[in-house]
Amino acid sequence: MPVSLSTIYKTRQDILTSMIQQLTAGIPDAYTGTDGVIRIIFEIEAGQFESLYLAEQLLLEDMWVSTASYQALVRYGDQYGLPMFQGNRAEGTLMFSGDDGGYIPQGTLAAHDPGNGLDPIYFETTADATLPSTGDPTPPLATPVDGGGNLTGAYEYILTYTTALGETLPSDESEIKTVNAGMIDLTGIALGGPGTTGRRLYRARNGDGNFRLVNDFAENTTTTWQDNVSDASIASAETPPIVDTGHAVVVAASAQEVGVDGNVVVGSITTISDGPAELTDVTNTIAFTGGQDPEDSEIYRSRLLNFIRNPQTGSVSDIEAWALNVDGVESATVLENTPGPGEVTVQITGPGGSVATPELIDEVQQTLDALDYANITIHVETFTPLSTDVTVDVTEGSGYTLQAVTPSVQQAVSDYINDLGVAETLKISGIIDAVFGLAGVDDVVVTTPTTNQATPAGQKRVAGVITVT
């Protein structure tokens, strides 16, 4: 019987049936019952032969890129110099708050809850860090000097420390000192510990507790100061903080897993999953970007076949394939005879459709220059980002609040915008489609923009401020 060129595999039952048929053709009265020795031996051998047929079938399929298994496909990519893209982790920064001098080791984990019953998305720090160790501020010593000044009344002071990211809670109040048309000498103005960048002095009058900023020391050295600032001049000055923002530090971090799920908007990461007890809060003050999913094996198979079949002489498809082969390039568009005859411009996007960094542009430029068989002039550039603000009005489902659904809505709208290609139109229906159906969202109306937004050539939309009302 002829053997198919694509299928040579035989099942254990087919093999057993064929063996019994051949035996009985030669020995018609041979006993082949299920309890017979010959039948048992044949069944054992048929199982072994089936494994051989299966191995041969897999080997046959792995001989061709069009039918190769995943592992064979990866090897073909290595062989032809066009490896499968394994994905990127999203990167950003985490801001931790906590106790004085708290240590944050590399690998500290924080999480974002995407809602919808999905598992948390984890992020890990990629460097060590230490929270400022300012210590607790103490109040200065106040000494009144009557006459020749702007102060009249009973005055008291409090002091705070400032750090790179904020301001500590204030000290206790100083002793109340009374002065008549004079000044107040302040001594013993406390110095903060490591991480202190300055101090802020607040003053209240006549015991009203209405402390106002009277002097901002932008250093950590001065210990004496004479206060002659009139009450009127600080009547509307800043008041002391009620939340400690001074014991905070920003740390580089990345998503624990590769993929677009790690691309989260500002303020999405709020849970410390695995870190020292000294840490109390975490958030991300910038969006995490750059996450890319691993390349789908069938998409890669098609890309590899196109690469193999192309002449590799510098054609448009060749240039696109070479550019995409550079790690970190998500898309590449070749514009022929641009900016002039005999020249091409290659517009690339970075991970997650982001603006390509100068380093990535330079790497692609060097790669294409080295592979330019056609001896044409190649220019590599990225797109011009066009920040796009969106406002959506959502109707919450039963049991949900606006605060609860806002993070997932912001993320969905941001993902839709960032996934748009270069010069691709922003569509109102696309925003609605991205939001409608999210957990807790019964209805959605886009209030800004009110119409579809065309995108000029060479530009690509990126998510701006996403407002949910």
Q: Which single residue is written with the structure tokens 């420390």?
A: 161
Say which range, 77-86, 160-169, 310-319, has the weakest mean pLDDT.
310-319
pLDDT confidence of residue 1: 37
Residue 333's identity, in one-letter code, is T
Report yes or no on 146 lying in a domain.
Answer: yes
Q: With 70 as the cut, is the pLDDT of residue 397 above it?
A: yes
**Tokens 């008291």 — which residue?**
156
Which pLDDT score, from 0 to 100, does residue 240 have? 97
Among residues 382, 410, 434, the one where a domain terminates is 382
User: 203 and 258 share a domain?
Assistant: no
Q: Is the pLDDT of residue 32 over 50?
A: yes
Per-residue pLDDT reduced to its tens digit, 111-154 = 998 876 678 999 999 999 999 999 999 999 999 999 999 999 99
Main-chain dihedrals φ then ψ at residue 130, nearest 5 degrees: -135, 135
Using the Cα atoms of residue 62, residue 67, residue 71 and residue 73 in order, give the sign of their dihedral. positive
φ, ψ of residue 59 to 5 degrees: the values are -65, -40
- Does residue 160 sit within a domain? yes
Query: In terms of domains, do 358 and 391 share one?
Result: no
Has residue 30 been placed in a domain? yes
CA distance 112 to 123: 8
Give yes or no: residues 219 and 358 share one domain: no
What is the predicted pLDDT for the residue at 372?
65
Work out the average pLDDT over 299-315. 84
Question: Which has the closest alpha carbon to 266: 3, 463, 47?
Answer: 463
Single out the residue of 283, 255, 270, 268 nearest to residue 406, CA to CA: 268
- Judge if 125 and 251 occupy the same domain: yes
pLDDT averaged over every residue in the chain: 91
CA of residue 466 relative to chain centroid, distance = 17
Which range (91-95, 216-220, 373-377) has the least confidence? 373-377
CA gap 299, 87 in Å, rounded:
14
d(CA 95, CA 162): 16
Is 293 within a domain? no
d(CA 370, CA 322): 10
Position 5 confidence tier, pLDDT thresholds 50, 70, 90:
low
Number of domains in the chain: 5
Residue 234's pLDDT is 97
178 and 105 in a common domain: no
Q: Identify whether residues 107 and 252 lie together within a single domain.
A: yes
Instruction: State the Cα–Cα distance between residues 253 and 408, nearest whole angstrom.
Output: 21
Q: Using 50, 70 and 90 to split pLDDT, how confident is the model at 2?
A: very low
Quick one: which of 171, 331, 149, 148 has its CA closest to 246? 171
In this prediction, residues 412-440 reach a mean pLDDT of 90
Look at residue 116 in the predicted model and tell me its pLDDT: 63
Q: Of the residues 12, 46, 63, which one is the last residue of a structural domain?
A: 63
* pLDDT (mean) for 253-269: 92
Q: Are residues 442 and 458 in the same domain?
A: yes
pLDDT reported for residue 188: 97
Listed in order, strand segments (DSSP E) in 191-342 are 198-205, 212-217, 225-227, 248-255, 271-274, 279-283, 331-336
- Write down which residue in 201, 234, 267 finishes a domain: 234
Which residues are bridge partners to 381 per DSSP?
347
Please tell me the distance from the alpha carbon of residue 279 to that of residue 300, in angstroms, as a whole number. 43
In a domain, 85, yes or no: no
What's the mean pLDDT in 393-404? 89
Same domain, 352 and 337: yes
Q: Are residues 155 and 216 in the same domain?
A: yes
CATH number at residue 358: 3.30.300.30
Q: Does a structural domain hold residue 290?
A: no
Axis-axis angle for helices 316-324, 297-309 (nearest 10): 140
> Are 121 and 252 in the same domain?
yes
Q: Give me the phi and psi of 295, to 5 degrees please.
A: -65, 135
Percent of the chain with pLDDT over 90: 64
Structural domain containing residue 49? 1-63
Quick: pLDDT tens for 62-89. 999 999 999 999 999 999 888 888 888 9
At 100 the three-state DSSP class reads coil
Q: Are residues 113 and 262 in the same domain?
A: yes
Q: In the predicted model, is pLDDT for residue 46 greater than 60?
A: yes
- Whether 336 is in a domain gets the answer yes
Mean pLDDT on 200-222: 97
Mean pLDDT of the 186-199 span: 97
Whether residues 351 and 407 share a domain: the answer is: no
Residue 35 falls inside a structural domain:
yes
